[in-house]
Structure 1
Amino acid sequence: MECKKATTKADVEFCKEAILEFRPNLNPETAVDLVLELINSNEFELVFIPNASNTRAGAFITYRFLNLLRTGPMIYVDDLFSFPECRNQGYAGKLLDYVTERATNKGIKSIHLDSGYTLHTAHRLYLNKGYYLACNHFAKAIN
């Protein structure tokens, strides 16, 4: 099981099915270009692990490098997804370890992510990987 950093359009295409499964709000016709635009900003990374048959991404993670007054330099995990056949096999944990290694290598002292209230299996993984509940996240939709 190897983590691969997406750098090309072909890499993002390989991940497209997983991205659209996790983020159905994205337009399938423009999703790849959107992800490439984010990757080219040099502050956003997409990392994936191919499924067992190497036909698509079995799991992926996206994250950004931010520098905030509250935290200083940090990594924010936007997305972490595994297809059902890849769950409970270490894919998500391996991707989280990859991000921890990136943070360590860049001298970044914290990683942050948000998770839905009902995602107890994910919460167990995060807690087992050393994450803790730091705050509540509030949002406001603007019409």
Structure 2
Amino acid sequence: MTEQHTITELDDENTALAYEAMRELRPHLTSEDDFVSAVRVQRKEGYRLIASLDSAGRVAAVAGFRHMTNLYAGSHLYIDDVSTLPSARKQGHAGALLRWVDEEARRLDCAGVHLDSGTHRHDAHRLYLSSGYVIPALHFSKTF
């Protein structure tokens, strides 16, 4: 299947269009206004938001990422979020978003792309592995 996907970057004016798709991944975002405000704060830290549109021009999937530089990976894009509406799954939207991020990383002369994924997200893991990602480490966290 070589379906064409339209990928667009969302700005402050149209961030709200991503809310329903993002809420699939981030259910704690209980209102569109809170989501838009949170994205606005993250944009100050370099967060960018892209969307894959369905054939009617509606947001079917979204990805949020940022350009980072650190000692272990050098310059890279870090994907914070990838989420697809249930009705749009298995249609290639998330894969198209990942390919767009790959191209953006190359354009920015990054060494690669990194992401973390919840251990229960098996379908996402299959997509990441089939898209060339590897599992080089475990992620540890501590909450307070």
Q: Same fold (TM over 0.5)?
A: yes
Give structure 1 stretches of 5+ with no counterpart. Answer: none
Q: Give the AA of the match of 1:13.
A: A
How far, CA to CA, are the matches of 1:52 and 1:81 in structure 2? Answer: 18
In the other structure, the counterpart of 1:137 is 139
- 2:10 maps to what in 1? 6
Cα distance in 2 for partners of 1:35, 1:43 equals 10
State the 1:42 CA deviation: 6.3
Is structure 2 residue 44 aligned with structure 1 residue 47? no
Residue 91 of structure 1: aligned partner: 93
How do 1:111-122 and structure 2 match up within 5 A?
111-122=113-124
Q: Percent of aligned positions with the same letter in both sequences?
A: 32
Question: Which 5+ residue runs of structure 2 have no aligned equivalent?
Answer: none
| Mapped partners of 1:91, 1:123: distance in 2 | 15
How far apart are 1:63 and its partner, in Å? 0.5
In 2, Cα distance between equivalents of 1:100 and 1:117: 23
Deviation (angstroms), 1:54: 2.9
Superposed displacement of residue 51, structure 1: 3.2
TM-score normalised by length of structure 1: 0.89
1:6 deviates by 0.7
Bigger relative CO (Cα 8 Å, ≥ 6 apart):
2
> Letter of the aligned partner of 1:20 in structure 2?
R
Question: Would you say 1:30 and 2:34 are equivalent positions?
Answer: yes
